[in-house]
Structures are given as structure tokens and as C-alpha cells.
């Protein structure tokens, strides 16, 4: 296979595809807006629920497609300023194969400028917590002997605490400019770090998130569906929030922070409690929240990498429940701690209202109302599927090595309705499961089979 150009990513987010898709999305949103306008002419509780559900979706997809990128983000980094980037990988009971793939991807990172030759990563810390992975330290040592990254260290800790893992690495690199958190399952595209550093040209940007998509997306039927669900949440909601510099949570699998921000709030980060119990998870939402206290938090889809998706429904539900727990903790923290006039506070409240309405509307319109009135809600089912297509269209902007556009489109058309059904379970039922189990604050990393 022909090797890709070192300056043109062969996989990851394609801006040209996104621009083409934005026209399709715009037409669909306008058509749905006209329909909802007509619905409002007939006052009814069903109409109000549908309008609120649509308003949140329409807002996000519109901002994700027509919103403008900040000028500083579109400019290349200063060619004479090479920020010091430290990578922190917290792992627990990890896979040696996955860890080595992640570490090798760090060596392939392109320099900040096309005329440069220096890997922008200055240090890498792998912190293993709790149950050690089989062969993980050996895999790290083998990589360490061949890498050109100046400082590398493997730290083993007995207690499974992801926040303390980050703290153990941060105190070793207090002078670093940028801290990059990764999961051991993340494999970065060659331009990931360079693209992730671009927004930091704006001195107000404190955190940058990157796009992760499934490396094992074609492993089975479920992973294909989960890939649509996972990617759409990133390229829609987070891109929309990024237009306002108000992303609530940059995924810990690929997130950049100004180190001085992390250092300033390290004590709060390590000592947060819920009902008297220390929180050892939810690292990404809290670090992004601290960054938001100091400035902008943005998302850059051109900064991309792959991760491993759950290959069973049980693992998918476990992971989603864990994410919802940290979502609610972060939501309550933002509502209490930010000014009501801030973009992050307003977006958080809007999202919370939309989620509550959605979680009430789905069972009412799909189950209770049909039973009471004796009919099958085919119109509402079709409506949900259409909304699923609108929300998921931007996933087609993600190019994959070895996958043709035609095959990608065909898969999306066939699988998106099923992805919508799975999304209803993951985003409605498990939403409240996460709310009711917020007291479970322990770090519980998801586990998948590693064969890719």
C-alpha cells in the first residue's frame, strides 16, 4: 500500500467532507424547522416535547456545521516556539499490545512546522494503578530502549486512582507547557499533537480535545453501531460547544491542557469528594472544568486518533453508565460554580433541560400514550430515525484508511436506524442510572479484547 504524505492525514476528520455534508444537514434542519413551526400551531403537550427535543439537536448540528473556527485555530503554530508537551497515560490492568501501539504512535508524531524535524513530545509517563497488566512494563521497556523522546518513565502504584496517577506524573513535569492525557487504547494519527497544539496560539485557550473513533469499528455488529453513536457525540455536541469556547468535557483519551492550569487546581482535583467519598474517576470532566474557569475549552476534530470500542453490550453499558455518573457530577459542579451569564453555564442548563425532556418524551410517546390510546406511534418512530440521520451525518466526515466513501455511506444508511435505537438505551435509560449511582466514584476502566 502506498504510504501517505507526511503532511496530509490519510485518516481522521476531513474538513472538505464536513463542508459538503453541512449543506445536506442545513436543508434537513430547515425542513424540520418548518414542520415544527407548523406543529406549534396546534397547542399540545406532545408538540412542546417535540420542539424542545428538536431545538437542542438543531442548535448543535447547526453550530457544528456553520459555526466558524477561531482564527488562531486555523493558523499554524509559531515556527520558532516549540511548547514542551508531556504525555500522561494512566492505565489499570491494561494490555501490553495496546500500550505498545499507543507508544509507537507517539514516535510517529510530525514536527510542529513542515521545516522542523523535532517530535513535539518532550516526556512520556505511563502510570499503572492497581492490578498490573500482563507484560505492560516489559512492553514499555522495549519501547523505551528505541524511542527518541527525551524523558520516559514507567510508574507503578498500588491504589487504583486515576487522578493520583495524573498527579504523580504532573509533579515530575511542573515546567512543561502542555499536558496531554491519553488512554492506553489510544493510537494517535501522525498529525494529532501538531493539530492539538494549534488552538493554543490563542492565549485564552486552556484545553483542547481531540477526535477519537473506533479502531475496531468493524469487529462486529455492535462496534459498527457504537462507532456511529460515539463519533457523532464528538463531532456534533463538542464541536458546537467549541464555537463558544465552552466544551464541558474533553475526553481523557485525547485531551490537552495548559500545565499551569492543572498545577493550580491539582489540590482540588485530588481531593474532590461526593457524599464523603473521594472521587477517583471523572478526570476529564473535572480537568476541563478547571480549564474553563481560566479561559476557553475547545475541541479540534483534525486532532484525531483511534480507540477500542466495547465489543459486548454489557461493556458498552458499563462504560456509558460510568460516563453518565461523571456527567452529572460535572453538570452539578458547573451549575453551582459558574456565572449564569457564562456560555458554559447556559449550554449546560440547555443540555440538562433537553435531556430531561427527552427522557420523559421517549417513554411517554413510545409506550404510555400508545397503550392509553391504542395505536402504534409509527410517525414518532419515523421522526426519531430522521433525527438520528441528521445527528449522525457528520460521522461521514471521518475518513478511514482502506475504507471507500461508498462503503462508508452504505454502512451509515443501513446502521444509523439501529444506532438510534441503541442511543435511546444508552442516552435515556442509562442517563438516569448514572444519576442514581453518582456515589460510585471509583475508577473502573472498560476492558475490551485486543486483537487489532
What Cα–Cα distance (Å) separates residue 52 from each residue in 31, 36, 348, 353, 355? 16, 10, 15, 9, 10
Residue 1: the pLDDT is: 32
Note the pLDDT of residue 132.
67
Helix, strand, coil share of the chain (percent; to 5): 55, 15, 30
290 vs 262: CA distance, rounded Å: 8
Sequence-separated (6 or more) residues with CB below 8 Å from residue 188? 102, 105, 106, 108, 109, 182, 254, 304, 305
Which grid cell sits at 135? 507484560
Q: Are the C-beta atoms of residues 275 and 281 closer than 8 Å to each other? A: no
Q: Residue 95 carries which DSSP code?
A: B
What distance in Å separates the CA atoms of residue 349 and residue 42, rounded to the nearest whole number? 27
Residue 33: all three cell numbers together: 424547522
In this predicted structure, what is the pLDDT of residue 449?
56
pLDDT for the residue 2: 34
- pLDDT for 123: 93
Tens place of pLDDT per residue across the chain (452 aa): 333 344 444 578 888 888 889 889 989 999 989 888 887 777 777 788 888 889 999 999 999 987 666 555 555 554 435 678 999 998 887 788 999 999 999 999 988 776 666 788 999 999 988 766 678 889 999 999 999 999 999 988 877 678 888 888 888 877 789 999 999 999 999 999 999 999 999 999 999 999 999 999 988 999 999 999 899 989 999 999 999 999 999 998 999 999 999 999 998 888 887 777 777 777 889 999 999 999 999 999 999 999 999 998 888 888 888 888 888 888 999 999 999 999 999 999 999 999 888 888 888 888 888 888 888 888 888 888 999 999 999 999 998 877 888 899 999 999 999 988 888 888 778 888 777 776 665 655 555 555 54
Is the CB of residue 183 less than 8 Å from the CB of residue 94? no
Please state, in angstroms and rounded to a whole number, the distance separating the CA atoms of residues 71 and 73. 5
User: What is the Cα–Cα distance from 310 to 430, expressed in whole angstroms?
Assistant: 16
**pLDDT at residue 446 in the model:** 56
Strand, helix or coil for residue 212: strand
pLDDT of residue 39: 79
- Please give the backbone phi and psi of residue 235, each rounded to the nearest 5 degrees, phi first: -80, -5
Spatial contact of 155 and 127, defined as CB atoms under 8 Å apart: yes
Separation between Cα atoms, residue 298 and residue 209, nearest integer Å: 6
Phi then psi for residue 319, to 5 deg, are -65, -45
Cell readout for 260 is 499551569
Amino acid at each position: 500500500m502506498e504510504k501517505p504524505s507526511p503532511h496530509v492525514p490519510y485518516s481522521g476528520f476531513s474538513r472538505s467532507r464536513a463542508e459538503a455534508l453541512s449543506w445536506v444537514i442545513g436543508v434537513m434542519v430547515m425542513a424540520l424547522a418548518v414542520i415544527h413551526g407548523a406543529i406549534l400551531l396546534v397547542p399540545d403537550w406532545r408538540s412542546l416535547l417535540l420542539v424542545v427535543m428538536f431545538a437542542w439537536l438543531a442548535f448543535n448540528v447547526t453550530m457544528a456545521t456553520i459555526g466558524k473556527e477561531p482564527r488562531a485555530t486555523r493558523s499554524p503554530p509559531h515556527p520558532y516556539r516549540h511548547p514542551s508537551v508531556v504525555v500522561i497515560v494512566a492505565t489499570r490492568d491494561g494490555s501490553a499490545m495496546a500500550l505498545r501501539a499507543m507508544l509507537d504512535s507517539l514516535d510517529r508524531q510530525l514536527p510542529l512546522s513542515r521545516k522542523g524535524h523535532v517530535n513535539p513530545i518532550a516526556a512520556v509517563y505511563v502510570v499503572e494503578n492497581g492490578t498490573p497488566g500482563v507484560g505492560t512494563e516489559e512492553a514499555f521497556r522495549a519501547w523505551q530502549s528505541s524511542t527518541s523522546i527525551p524523558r520516559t518513565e514507567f510508574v507503578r502504584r498500588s491504589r487504583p486512582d486515576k487522578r493520583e496517577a495524573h498527579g504523580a506524573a504532573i509533579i515530575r513535569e511542573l515546567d512543561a507547557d502542555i499536558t496531554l492525557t491519553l488512554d492506553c487504547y489510544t493510537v494517535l494519527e501522525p498529525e494529532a499533537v501538531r493539530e492539538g497544539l494549534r488552538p493554543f496560539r490563542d492565549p485564552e485557550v486552556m484545553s483542547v480535545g481531540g477526535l477519537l473513533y473506533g479502531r475496531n469499528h468493524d469487529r462486529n455488529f455492535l462496534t459498527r453501531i457504537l462507532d456511529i453513536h460515539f463519533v457523532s457525540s464528538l463531532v456534533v455536541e463538542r464541536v458546537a460547544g467549541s464555537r463558544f469556547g465552552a466544551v464541558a468535557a474533553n475526553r481523557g483519551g485525547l485531551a490537552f491542557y495548559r500545565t499551569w492550569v492543572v498545577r493550580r487546581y491539582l489540590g482540588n482535583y485530588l481531593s474532590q469528594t461526593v457524599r464523603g467519598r473521594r472521587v477517583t474517576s471523572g478526570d476529564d470532566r473535572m480537568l476541563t472544568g478547571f480549564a474553563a474557569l481560566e479561559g476557553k475549552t475547545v475541541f479540534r476534530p483534525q486532532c484525531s486518533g483511534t480507540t477500542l470500542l466495547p465489543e459486548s453490550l454489557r461493556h458498552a453499558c458499563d462504560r456509558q453508565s460510568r460516563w453518565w455518573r461523571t456527567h452529572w457530577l460535572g453538570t452539578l459542579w458547573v451549575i453551582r460554580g459558574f456565572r449564569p451569564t457564562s456560555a458554559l453555564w447556559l449550554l449546560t442548563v440547555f443540555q440538562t433541560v433537553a435531556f430531561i425532556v427527552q427522557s420523559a418524551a421517549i417513554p411517554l410517546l413510545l409506550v404510555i400514550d400508545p397503550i392509553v390510546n391504542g395505536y402504534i406511534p409509527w410517525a414518532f418512530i419515523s421522526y426519531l430515525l430522521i433525527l438520528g440521520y441528521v445527528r449522525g451525518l457528520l460521522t461521514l466526515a471521518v475518513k478511514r484508511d482502506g475504507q471507500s466513501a461508498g462503503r462508508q455511506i452504505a454502512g451509515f444508511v443501513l446502521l444509523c436506524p439501529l444506532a438510534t435505537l441503541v442511543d435511546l438505551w444508552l442516552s435515556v435509560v442509562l442517563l438516569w442510572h448514572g444519576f442514581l449511582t453518582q456515589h460510585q466514584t471509583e475508577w473502573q476502566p472498560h476492558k475490551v479484547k485486543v486483537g487489532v
